[in-house]
Chains A and B, each alone.
Chain A
Amino acid sequence: MNNIIVYIETQEGKIADVSLELLTKGRTLSKRLGCRLEALIIGESVEFHKDELFAFGAEKIYIAEDPRLKFYTTLPYSAITIALFKEGKPRIALFGATPQGRDLAPRVSSALSSGLTADCTSLEIGDHKEPRGEKEYKDLLYQIRPAFGGNIIATIINPDHRPQMATVREGVMKKESLPVAVNGEVKRINTTKILTAPDFIVEIIERHIEERKIDIKGAPIIVAGGFGVGSRENFGLLSELAKVLGGEVGASRAAVDAGFAEHARQIGQTGVTVRPKLYIAAGISGQIQHTAGMDQSAMIISINSDPDAPIHQIADYAIVGDLNEVIPKIIRAYKNNSK
């Protein structure tokens, strides 16, 4: 079939945003390649999701339903995915870079000896010629991701192995349904033919799912702090500004690693991707892994005492100065000028 397939993850009866984002991207890729966009969904009772998947452009949906598949566990989910990929031979397979996708995709790629690129920030189609011109490849998936220490962007390809597999984090790609849903088909997978008793040797005995309390993705204004903020206490200054402006506090990885802020606030390649209308970056140097998660913000203000900090180059307003001085002034100026 040589199509594009997206693994659809469900969380507490809802399709994960990242799966819909991947379908949205998959539409562009399948149009470019002239192939079909497909989806695989696994669970106890998941058929009711099909309309939403058609609305996001899936032309064929594989459904694996079985009471034993109520919750994700590695072995049965990977057995089904591997069986389907072996039979259908997709050319591209996309997974969300969630704990589930990051558990499943490598297992599948190992079984199929196909390559897998983690945390892509962009996916494109393009050709490839071997350096010595021995071989030419048409229409490969360019899996693009920042790499190593932040100042390079690597384009990864899998010339000879299929499927070409990639994971993408939530929020990196746009999510857009079609104005008119696709009139697609549903194919049910016979799970009893694939699953065997040893697939169920790991049992889940308890689950506590907590609603994510911190939601910086939806915030219209984000005040983000970096290592330059200096301490957890000093992050209070950012919270104050965020409160005054009606926004949320975000952080760089260096700030999270140093314990200044919770992990759920991390923005960037390995955190969340945000597109607020205003992003204030204080004490953040602006390494690519950070900016990958925020450079689509409608407006960026940087506050950094180093005039050469890279963050200043992507800012609309670059304030060269000490954040401890600047932030209280912003709060004061806002209070004086609003109302």
Chain B
Amino acid sequence: MNSDDPLLKILEDLLKLDDIYACMIARRNMVSVMPDTNLFNQKIMDVWDIVSVAMKNVFGIIEEYTSVGLDVMEFRLKNHSVLFFVIPETDNALVAIIPSLANKGLIEVEMENARREIVEILNREEEELVKA
């Protein structure tokens, strides 16, 4: 771990939490930033295929409603919950797979922190581009 990529580092930090089985930054049809899948909890393997397909549908909704303030989406699948924290003003979301019985509130706090850090990085990169 210990990536040079700041976005990847945020995800790797999230993955260190016991109840975050997998996480990534994704948009429809594309996972933009994903840690090494060997770091994922293998318990998600039985739902991974279904989650991948379901994500496409969820992102369809995110694309449509993000401009009017869609913030968080979630669905439950078997023993897992999939959380989508929409990155504001984008069609991207921070996605995490957690056990459905996890203390979701505590996890949401760290998802929110990760989202804020991602936005900060994107804003910083934009400012650097403008200066250049």
Do the two chains belong together in a single complex?
A: no
Name B's A-contacting residues (CB within 8 A). none
